[in-house]
Amino acid sequence: MKVTQQPNCFIISLIYSSILLFFYSSILLFFYSSILLFFYSSKNKNITSFNKTSSPNKNNIFKLKK
């Protein structure tokens, strides 16, 4: 009886630990992806603002070449 209960207890603890590991890893992945998304969006805003300021300069260069 004890010999059959030990593997069951081991399997249950293994399943429980794997569920906890998956849960914590998903939370960490969510926070990491949100931080990356925040940095990417701020970087993308800087790029678009840079493009907006540089586009008149490009037009001026083209006007000078013409």
Q: Where are the domains of the chain?
A: 7-63
pLDDT at 16: 95
Is 58's pLDDT higher than 80?
no
pLDDT at 64: 55
Give the Cα separation of 37 and 31 in Å (integer): 10
Q: Which two tokens stand for residue 27?
A: 């939370």
Q: How many residues does the chain have?
A: 66
Helix (H, G, I), strand (E, B) or coil at 16: helix
Q: Which is more confident, 7 or 62?
A: 7
For the segment 1-57, what is each residue's pLDDT rounded down to a tens digit?
Answer: 555 556 678 889 999 999 999 999 999 999 999 998 888 887 766 555 554 555 555
